[in-house]
Amino acid sequence: MSRIDAKFAELRTEGKKAFVAYVMAGDPDYATSLDLVKGLPGAGVDIIELGLPFTDPMADGPTIQRAGQRALEGGMTLQKTLDLVTEFRKDDATTPIVLMGYYNPIYNRGVERFLDDAKTAGIDGLIVVDLPPEEDEELCIPAQKAGLNFIRLATPTTDDKRLPKVLENTSGFVYYVSITGITGAAAADAGDVGPEVTRIKAQTDLPVIVGFGIRTPQSAQAIAAVADGCVVGSAIVAEMAAGKPVEEVTAFVRSLAAGAHRA
């Protein structure tokens, strides 16, 4: 059982929904980013989604694009991202970490070496947005064999014909993208999301977590109420971009987590 599986089992026992927080590794710099990541579990975050900075983040909106650019300009790399996770794990052996990014940095490092290093650092799962299911032999299946969950995105355009292919080698949880488009582009609507979550859950026993367009404790509660939990990313990243101290950002995260946990 992975840390992700264990976390969902724990939440089910407690009758709670999951709150997942996305932050960009290295934004605005390594030290501040590490402080923020270390503070997330205490703010009520169940799973940390850690963004891997990349030069061409096609699925991300301007807020996260700028965060990635700040991180890259500050010297953040794949290795430093793994170092950050290693440092985090010195004090926290239980909170799951999902690395979210694009395939190019992984490919450049070499899949086998990357998986070994990711597992050693303490990463539990991967979301690689530019590798479709048709390319599962490239990374997804090797990752599963290495003991890492491979989390797939489903979207409003993933119809019933496509959905089984998307779910085929997915593990950990399914990430349902609540809107069509990039991150931070629009607000998620529980009335639209609920039926889609039901449709997905009819074809899988995996938890379904909803992300994109969730910015407030109220929307976190509303979306978590119709799913197994929710992800907030751009709203947290925007707090960092505003130059707020880590303590203020974690207070904001705490309010979001409380909203999700009320669902």
- Let me know if 196 is a catalytic residue: no
- pLDDT mean by block of 10 residues, the chain; 263 residues: 96 98 98 98 98 90 94 97 98 98 97 98 97 96 98 95 97 91 68 95 98 94 97 96 97 98 96
Amino acid occupying residue 184: G
User: Has 189 been annotated as catalytic?
Assistant: no
Identified catalytic residue from 5, 27, 46, 60: 60
Q: The CATH number of 3-262 is which of 3.20.20.140, 3.40.630.10, 3.20.20.70, 3.30.450.20? A: 3.20.20.70
For the chain, the domains span: 3-262
Catalytic residue among 5, 49, 228, 239: 49
pTM above 0.85, yes or no: yes
